[in-house]
Amino acid sequence: MDGRSYDQYGGGGGRGRGGCRNSGGRGYGGGGGSRGGAGGFWSSSGGSNSSSWRSSGPSPTPPSTNSQANSSSGGSDNRPWRSSAPSPIPSTNNQPRSSPGGFDSRSWRSSGPSPTPSTTQSPSSRNYSVEHKAILQSMKISEEKQLPLPSNTRDDKILPMRRPDRGSLSARSVSLLANHFSVSFNSRSVIMHYSVEIKPATIAGKRPFKKSIPKTVMRSIKDKLFTEDDNFPVDMVAYDGERNIFSAVELPVGEFTVTTSFSYKFTIREVSRLECSKLEEYLCGKISYIPRDVLQGMDVVMKENPSKHRISVGRSFYSKNYEVRDDLSCGVAAYRGFYQSLKPTSQGLALCLDYSVLAFRKPVPVLDFLKEHIQGFTKADDVIRMRREVINALRGLKVNVTHRVSKQKFIISGLTREPTRSLSFDLIGRNSQDSGRKIGIVEYFWEKYERRIEHLNIPCLDIGKPNQINYVPMEFCVLVEGQRNRRLDRDRAQFLKRISLAAPAERKNSICEMVQGQDGPSGVVAENFDMKVEKNMTPIQGRVLGAPELKLREMNGSICPVTVDQERCQWHIDGKSLVGAQSIERWALIDFTSTSHFKMHIQEFVYNLRNHSSRLGMHMEEPVVCCSTGMHEFSTVSRIEKLLRKVVADARQGGCQQGKELQLIVCIMTKRDPGYKYLKWVSETQIGVVTQCSLSTHASKAQDQYLTNLCLKINAKVGGSNIELNEQLPNFVNEDNVMFIGADVNHPAAQNSTCPSIAAVVGTINWPATNRYAARIQPQEHRKEKIVNFGSICRDLVNTFAQRNNCKPKKIIVFRDGVSEGQFGMVLNEELRDLQRAVCTEDYWPTITVVVAQKRHHTRLFNSKDGGVIVNVPPGTVVDTTIIHPFEFDFYLCSHYGSLGTSIPTHYYVLWDENGFTSDKLQKLIYNLCFTFARCTKPVSLVPPVYYADLVAYRGRLFQEVAMEQSSESRSAASASSLSAASFQQNFYTLHQDLQNVMYFV
């Protein structure tokens, strides 16, 4: 089962992203760095109002020279000088930070294009309405002295904000190494960009070949042309394997004929001349938009050498040989390699290189592959007995043939119906005497290739195309190298995961070996482009933030501080009560182990659970219903729904009165079952009761830590609070009503082309504890990252906050997950504006901050202890120098303790800020929030709003799977598209009204 499910059956410390997963090495995602620039903002001192139009006095005059953020003495936002983003160009002139207008009556929130920063425009020249002018007059602000729109806009598009300052807060400093390797280049160089088109040559009398040409074939065609034609310098060009060539010198253009086993037309055209000086200007902060075409060209250059010597998969490159220890013994092996990506950073251009592992099918003869892959397959004749298994194992795989000299690859479509000895065909040859003669496969291979076929009684492989016969004996076929194996059984998947979770020292050594290898990113081609890669990792100075003060309760109800372990930042709650422990008076238990060999002793489990919960301050009565059944109940939705409705009905008869419904159903299961999704969908959308699943193997042992984690999840689900910060959040001391929002989108598997993506948004509903969340789910267009109706969803959450706190939040902090650097514009110009339009009114203007949290990157940090031993970085490690963006506001924070593999720090990227965060305050705020996650007693690796949004999106994916199955049951001949359409219906994702604002997803 998916890693997300590991802790859904009990108390484990959260999903892999939480306290227990510190993995790396799967080669997912990108990285990203940043560096701070000058600029900043200025705010007036004193006062509690956050907007200039709310003040009665005139606006203060901003200082003429100030590159640092001056904080308000009153601790609150005093605009207009403190708006969203500082000037994108470092200078001595302080620029205001702006927000994306369009609907806002504030003068600096215009939706029009940005004027030149040095030009002052009157409101009338920006098409201000009469209402705008009236507001300006009431504020006694001269129209002629309005601040110009910020220069962090381009073509009416908002760019990510500038870094306000450098962080300095720390309990201690630490010397680190990062897997970024500095790349030097000649800023005066020009890279020639050419487009390439490769088509089969048209032969008279034959229809043109329409099928796309594989990348490997395209690269071999290009290599042949550049090797044989002296006008094309081989070592001066880099090819992306598709349509782009980048050259250090000018190339001939036009159409060329290349002949391999077929004849091709190779057309090359000049696209542009890429000036490396543009990238240098960006790195220096002279321009605010990244020259992506130049960076793309350099990236292809850096990939040219490894792509020639290694198996290429996206941005990753794997060895063509596997180590014996990495054999997965099923015709599949784990191949080690590296991921690489060029990044603009504070130190200049850098290459991020990370260790990666991927499973490939071994390039062995087909019969040898079958012997390894299929259990019980020992000899060639077993193909007859195990025909179905053989077809399933081979269909779609690529093979080379050994009976002739050819690099052509063929795809297996199936097996012949007849054995090899009985196969024959009509010979079509140049010799008129042979044409039309019927010949057997055995005779043909002897006459044509002088090859005797050994296995005559088994079928041949069918590697022909539609309407084309091409039968080849299995013994003459070998699997092509580099074929990924996407599906592994549970044991082999765990083995692959163990290999990928390399310890810090092993990971560091592997990375250094790869960057220095002959098949690494360096090479003759890169040198000819005047690019050179540093061979050593980047040394950086990190800061370790101190753990926050936490609080629980004594058994008498009084608040008590919690001692946090300094090394792992864990805390113990023995002898303490949860800070907001709930009493559970009405609950039921379903034992699904009654028909299993591992039948649970239910009474003993109930006693242990009640006893442990009472030690945490949670008073649990005896269950009002306790029924026994088997795992067969998970087979269909209807069976599980019938069972749950019966339990609820029995509970009412057993003492649950009207208005005092069942609070919880505990389910003891023998295994992780696909029917788990039925249970969650029925209980959370139809019945309206939270459920807690527990595996019998863990529940029967009743270990203290397991029971503690179980109780933490139960308490959160029934409305309780487990742990709280004993101090107010940084930047919000003495503030009223701050709301945190987390948003994520869960996309279907890559092979699926019809199912919806699932958007999830969560928001805090209590202040100042900020540890209770409400959640909303919605399906949306397939693989669409933008959250549709993001504004209306947030408005609903804001209204829920207002109902609980009798006041709307004055400040909103949005944490967005799952977006890459290329999608920042979408978040700023679409989602943020949608949020503002939906939430803001004439009398309600909350200040908004937007932060992106990225886990799927490849930046790794290595801590060198005394004696040179490489270990994981300690919890609270923050890096905001050297490897970050040249001038935008981002940083890396490792908030968790890495007990397995190499810790992955979370990359936080601040896109928008109206709350005047300094680097120190935002970093400390996020780190403190990581201690409030409900499922464990240690800080998690990801800020909780995003973590919860990810859990909710995954729950929505389970609901979608139920919708698909429900639809297929009601439509016997439904197409894939019509089944998928059913899963777009919102009613499948609408929670029961009793669970609308409950943390059912924990």
652 with 700, same domain: the answer is yes
699 with 622, same domain: the answer is yes
Judge whether 317 lies within some domain: no
Judge whether 857 lies within some domain: no
585 with 714, same domain: the answer is yes
Q: Which pLDDT does position 337 carry in this prediction?
A: 97
683 with 783, same domain: the answer is no
Residue 99 has pLDDT above 90, yes or no: no
- Residues forming beta bridges with residue 270, ordered by sequence position: 194
User: How large a percentage of the chain has pLDDT more than 70?
Assistant: 81
Q: Which of 162, 193, 215 is the last residue of a domain?
A: 162
Q: Which residues of 875-900 are buried (b: 16+ CB within 10 A; e: fewer)?
A: bbbbbbbbbbbbbbbbbbbbbbbbee
The mean predicted confidence, pLDDT, of the chain is 84
Classify 49 as helix, strand or coil. coil
Judge whether 313 lies within some domain: no
Band of the pLDDT at 650, cuts 50, 70, 90?
Answer: very high
Judge whether 624 lies within some domain: yes
Q: Which pLDDT does position 18 carry in this prediction?
A: 38
Residue 653 has pLDDT above 60, yes or no: yes
Residue 248 has pLDDT above 90, yes or no: yes
Band of the pLDDT at 605, cuts 50, 70, 90?
Answer: very high
Residue 74 has pLDDT above 50, yes or no: no
672 with 795, same domain: the answer is no
Q: Which residues of 323-346 are buried (b: 16+ CB within 10 A; e: fewer)?
A: eeebebebbbbbbbbbbbbbbbbb
621 with 692, same domain: the answer is yes
Judge whether 664 lies within some domain: yes
Q: How many residues does the chain have?
A: 1002
Q: Which residue has the higher pLDDT, 106 or 795?
A: 795
The pair of three-digit structure tokens given for residue 421, joined into one six-digit string: 């000895």
Judge whether 176 lies within some domain: no
DSSP code, position 995:
G
Could you give the CA distance from residue 287 to residue 289 in angstroms, rounded to a whole number?
6
Q: Which residues of 41-67 are buried (b: 16+ CB within 10 A; e: fewer)?
A: bbbbeebeebbbbebeeebeebeeebb
Q: What is the CATH number of the domain that holds 430?
A: 2.170.260.10
Q: Which pLDDT does position 203 carry in this prediction?
A: 64
Which are the contacts of 245, defined by CB distance < 8 A and separation ≥ 6?
193, 194, 195, 196, 222, 237, 238, 239, 251, 268
Q: Which of 162, 184, 204 is the last residue of a domain?
A: 162
Q: What is the pLDDT of residues 367-396, one digit of tens each?
A: 999 999 999 999 999 999 999 999 999 999
68 with 143, same domain: the answer is yes
Q: Which pLDDT does position 28 carry in this prediction?
A: 35
Structural domain harbouring 428? 366-479
Average pLDDT of the segment spanning 556-578:
92
Judge whether 497 lies within some domain: no
Q: Which pLDDT does position 124 carry in this prediction?
A: 34
Among 66, 77, 60, residue whose Cα is nearest residue 41: 66
Average pLDDT of the segment spanning 712-726:
97
586 with 684, same domain: the answer is yes
Q: What is the pLDDT of residues 225-243, one digit of tens each?
A: 999 999 999 999 999 999 9
Residue 364 has pLDDT above 70, yes or no: yes
Could you give the CA distance from residue 978 to residue 807 in angstroms, rounded to a whole number?
45
Q: What is the pLDDT of residues 492-545, one digit of tens each?
A: 999 999 999 999 999 999 999 999 999 999 899 999 999 999 999 999 999 999
709 with 800, same domain: the answer is no
Cα 136 from chain centroid?
45
Q: CA distances (Å), 153 to each of 100, 115, 425, 916, 922, in order?
A: 9, 9, 69, 19, 24
67 with 157, same domain: the answer is yes
Average pLDDT of the segment spanning 289-315:
95
Q: Which pLDDT does position 154 carry in this prediction?
A: 57
Q: CA distances (Å), 228 to each of 215, 221, 222, in order?
A: 20, 11, 10
Positive or negative, the CA dihedral 92, 97, 100, 104 is: negative
Could you give the CA distance from residue 667 to residue 629 in angstroms, rounded to a whole number?
11
CA atoms within 13 A on the CB side of 621: 15
Q: Do the beta carbons of residue 578 and residue 613 sit within 8 Å?
A: no
Task: Kindly tell me the number of DSSP H helices and DSSP E strands found in the chain.
Answer: 22, 40
Give me the DSSP letters along 781-804: STT--S-TTHHHHHHHHHHHHHHH
Cα 394 from chain centroid?
32
Band of the pLDDT at 408, cuts 50, 70, 90?
Answer: confident
Q: Which of 162, 181, 210 is the last residue of a domain?
A: 162
331: left (phi over 0), alpha (psi -120 to 50) or beta: left
704 with 741, same domain: the answer is no
Average pLDDT of the segment spanning 867-881:
90
Residue 194 has pLDDT above 80, yes or no: yes
Q: Which pLDDT does position 657 carry in this prediction?
A: 61
772 with 635, same domain: the answer is no
Judge whether 345 lies within some domain: no
Burial (CB count <10 Å: 0-12, 13-18, 19+), residue 321:
exposed
Q: What is the CATH number of the domain that holds 768?
A: 3.30.420.10
Domain count, the chain: 4
